[in-house]
Amino acid sequence: MPRLAKGRLLPGLIVLLTGAFIASLWPSFQGSGGAVVGVGDDAPEFNLTSDAGKPIQLSDFRGKFVILNFWASWCAPCVEEMPSLERFAEQFSPKGVVVLGVSVDEDRGAYQQFLRRVGVQFLTVRDPEKKTSRRYGTLKYPETYFIDPKGRVVQKVIGKADWTDPQILDYMEQLLKG
Going from the first residue of the chain to its last (178 residues), give the mean pLDDT of each consecutive group of 10, the final group possibly shorter.
53 52 44 67 92 90 96 94 96 96 94 92 93 90 96 94 95 91
Q: Are strands 143-147 and 123-126 parallel, antiparallel or unpaired?
A: unpaired
- Tell me, letter by letter, the H, E, C secondary structure of 60-125: HHCCCCEEEEEECCCCHHHHHHHHHHHHHHHHHHHHCCEEEEEECCCCHHHHHHHHHHHCCCCEEE
Phi-psi region of 55 (alpha: psi -120 to 50; beta: other; left: phi over 0): beta
CA distance 113 to 79: 13
Task: Bin 141: left if φ > 0, else alpha if -120 < ψ < 50, else beta.
Answer: beta
pTM: 0.80
